Amino acid sequence: MPTPWQYTDVGPGRTTEIEGQHYLYFSGTGYLGLNQHPDFKALVLEGIERFGVNFGGSRRSNLRFEMYERVESLFAEWAGAPASLLFSSGSLAGQVLHRIMSKQGEVLYAPGTHPALWGEKQPPSLKYEQWSAWLLDQLKDRQVPTVIFANSIDPLRSRAYDFSWVSEIPEGPLVYLVIDDSHGFGVTGSKGMGIYGKVETPAWVQLLVLASLGKAFSLPAGIILGQREIIEKCWESPFFGGASPLPPAYLYAFLKSKDLWRRQLDKLRKLILFFDEGIKGLELFEHLEGYPVYYCKDDRLAEALWQENIMISSFPYPGPQDPLITRVVLNALHHTADVRHLLAAIRLQSDPNKIG
């Protein structure tokens, strides 16, 4: 692999095409495989015929599509949240929520918080465990409400952030806990609804969750779930009202196939278990249980698999001069035979003389 990137003019799914050569594709997101699922694509095209390729208006204009509210109600019901609101991207959802919440009280950031939630401050360089202990101490004597921004999952190294400390927050002025669940929403949790409902919160802690819907659901959208009061503030924000929503054709497709993602999730979870069993005894990966991303501690695996016509994720992050982050990413488009082939190639290359 001459560079850590390759060009293609064909959208990837279970495979990708580079310079006329096909590679099994274990990279990217699109965890549920809806981006290349024939049934979902056909419904998007059906939606385009009915609604056009885009709606350039505002959700608050005098012409509205009831589908947006239907999808918001569905997601809120599935997650067990009082209300939800759709945005045209997860980053926009994060920026709108940050503007609103930063007026509610003192803002603090957990290590690993996504840049979409940054304001004038940035996350501390402390380890997460050190930070959570520091935070609990800080919250003992708070005099005003506090807003904490955090991530649910580190998708680069496939690890979850622990929120057991939330139940230890002492009583006092309201604490808003805002969690970015972009890489968990649609994939993790008992019903695939991510972290909402999994965090135990005392009465003086209010939970808000935001997520990109592109990572799992392949929808060009973001969502915020939480108390109706905050959702209404987001609705009233000029940054929400002044932005075009996601194209209605995608909502049409989603509503027509709202059970498809559950079937895809079941398939993905079976593939995860299959891969988990296949890598037993190897020490190449760090992995969060039930999550389709496997962090590899040795970057040479990407080159070795490339020679076997398998492309995994391996590129410098967060900046172009930073070290490589190498990962295997499963998605629900993969066949069991694809994963079996990947496992065989990994085991072939896991000789200590080849891979660390």
Sheet of 83-87, strands arranged across = 83-87, 222-226, 205-212, 175-180, 146-151, 106-109
Torsion of CA 345, 348, 349, 355, to 10 degrees: 140
CATH classification of the domain holding 197: 3.40.640.10
Q: Is 167 a domain residue? A: yes
* CA separation for the pair 317, 325 (Å, rounded): 6
Show the domain range for 225. Answer: 55-246
Q: Does 177 lie in the same domain as 111?
A: yes
Q: Does 133 lie in the same domain as 227?
A: yes
Q: Does 270 lie in the same domain as 196?
A: no
Q: Does 75 lie in the same domain as 20?
A: no
Q: Is 10 a domain residue? A: no
Q: Does 133 lie in the same domain as 198?
A: yes
Q: Is 113 a domain residue? A: yes
Q: Is 195 a domain residue? A: yes
Give the 3-state secondary structure percentages of the chain, helix then strand then coil, rounded to 5.
Answer: 35, 20, 45
Torsion of CA 266, 267, 269, 272, to 10 degrees: 180
Q: Is 121 a domain residue? A: yes
CATH classification of the domain holding 27: 3.90.1150.10
Q: Does 233 lie in the same domain as 295?
A: no
Q: Is 108 a domain residue? A: yes
Residue carrying structure tokens 């990572």? 215
Q: Does 272 lie in the same domain as 175?
A: no
* CA separation for the pair 142, 169 (Å, rounded): 11
Q: Is 285 a domain residue? A: yes
Phi-psi category of residue 18: left, alpha or beta, with phi > 0 → left and psi -120 to 50 → alpha:
beta
Residue pair 29/217 in contact by the 8 Å Cβ criterion: no
Q: Does 32 lie in the same domain as 69?
A: no
Q: Does 60 lie in the same domain as 108?
A: yes
* Full-model pTM: 0.93
Q: Does 71 lie in the same domain as 215?
A: yes
Q: Which amino acid is at 34?
A: L
Torsion of CA 100, 104, 108, 111, to 10 degrees: -40
Q: Does 310 lie in the same domain as 167?
A: no
Sheet of 285-287, strands arranged across = 15-18, 21-26, 310-316, 324-329, 293-296, 285-287
Q: What is the residue-level pLDDT of the chain in tens, covering all 356 positions?
A: 545 678 888 889 999 999 889 999 999 999 999 999 999 999 999 999 999 999 989 999 999 999 999 999 999 999 999 999 999 999 999 999 999 999 999 999 999 888 777 776 777 778 999 999 999 999 998 999 999 999 999 999 999 999 999 999 999 999 999 999 999 999 999 889 999 989 999 999 999 999 999 999 999 999 999 999 999 999 999 999 999 999 999 999 999 998 999 999 999 999 999 999 999 999 899 999 999 999 998 999 999 999 999 999 999 887 788 889 999 999 999 999 999 999 999 998 776 555 54
- What is the pLDDT at residue 353? 54
Q: Does 173 lie in the same domain as 26?
A: no
Q: How many CB atoms lie within 10 A of CB 303?
A: 13
In the chain, the number of structural domains is 2
- What is the pLDDT at residue 114? 82
Q: How many CB atoms lie within 10 A of CB 149?
A: 28
- What is the pLDDT at residue 310? 97
SS3 track for 276-292: HHHCCCCCCEEECCCCC
